[in-house]
Structure 1
Amino acid sequence: MSELKTRINEDVKTAMRAGDKPRLSVLRMLQAELKQREVVDAVELTEAVIHAVVEKMIKQRRDAQAQFQNAGRTDLADKEAAEIAVLLDYLPQQLGEAEVAALIEQAITETGAAGGKDIGKVMAWIKPRAQGRTDMGKLSGLIKAKLG
């Protein structure tokens, strides 16, 4: 069992003992999603797979949060923000803006990218180095802006 999966299971037990229902709810959703990947999709739960699941759940919550804010439902938007905060604990240390900019520069230099047609090449180089450590959608936008 991966170290991260063990940590999630222990955190579920801790949240149950503490009576922290909001945190417990998020962790149980995470466990269910991981079980889905493991059993139905027959995927071994490596750290990278778990990080991908957590990123997907965070993205879903950010989308929902934006929709709730646009609809004036700040109570539900706040709930989504709290869930995002719990999920962020299971991703590696996030890259700062300067680190992201340096990584993009390095990717462009290493791949010899010259324009918009090379965005895919730069993303392919950068993805394994940044996955789980930054918002890949924002990263893609920064690369497009730089090369476009």
Structure 2
Amino acid sequence: MIRDDIKAALIAAMKERDQPTTAAIRLIQAAIKNRDIELRTATVQPDDDLLITEVLSKMIKQRRESIEMFEKGGRQELADAEKGEVAVIERFLPAQMSEAEAAAAIDAIATELGAASVKDMGRVMAAVKDRHAGKMDMSRASALVKARLG
């Protein structure tokens, strides 16, 4: 489980006295705990690894936006710190599909569902998210689906 990997990495980083990694992993754990609290009242609990993958993906997206803003503002030291956090967060994500693998998976799903136009994009994206969440960047998948159906 990803949660166990994160705990083990925190212990290892603390033993090595690696402050940046320790801080980044603590941020990850805080975000996961916040998400767990949000889901306490939910009737359907998502798969734990899927939940953590969503949290980590969201954290990476936020950091990449921050990096872009810091670089535009001439604050390279802050951008570098964010890049370090992204590197730590990415260690815990499952391997992402390549562009070709993602296109093939989307093509198979679209064919299976009989999707022919952009009107079917919602159905295809729902199926893609169900089957490949965590392995595929959904914003990239959206562009691939639009290209396939458009």
| TM-score relative to the length of structure 1 | 0.89
**Deviation per residue, 1:13-41 (Å, 9 max, x gap):** 11111111111111001111112222353
Aligned to 1:21: 19
Residue 128 (structure 1) shift = 2.1
| Separation in structure 2 between the aligned mates of residue 12 and residue 90 of structure 1, nearest angstrom | 12
Offset, 1:142: 1.9
* Counterpart Cα distance in 2 of 1:134 and 1:40: 24
2 CA distance for matches of 1:139 and 1:60? 19
CA RMSD in angstroms comes to 1.7
Deviation above 3 Å: which 4+ runs of structure 1? none
Q: Which residue of 1 aligns with 2:91?
A: 89
- 2:20 and 2:118 map into 1 onto residues whose CA distance is 44
Distance 1:129 1:9 in 2: 27
The residue number in structure 2 matching 1:103 is 105
**Residue 128 of structure 1 corresponds to which residue in structure 2?**
130
The residue that corresponds to 2:115 in the other structure is: 113
Deviation digits for residues 112-138 of structure 1, max 9, x if unmatched?
Answer: 111111111110111122211122112
CA contact (8 A) 2:107 2:148 kept: no
Q: Secondary structure at the match of 1:61?
A: helix
Aligned partner (choices 16, 30, 43) of residue 32 of structure 1: 30
Q: Which runs of 5+ in 2 are unaligned?
A: none
- Number of the residue aligned with 1:137: 139
Q: TM-score, normalised by structure 2?
A: 0.88
Residue pair 2:53, 2:134 contacting (<8 A) in 1 also: yes
Q: What is the total number of aligned residue pairs between the two structures?
A: 146
Higher relative contact order, structure no. (Cα contacts within 8 Å, ≥ 6 residues apart): 2
Aligned partner of residue 41 in structure 1, secondary structure: helix
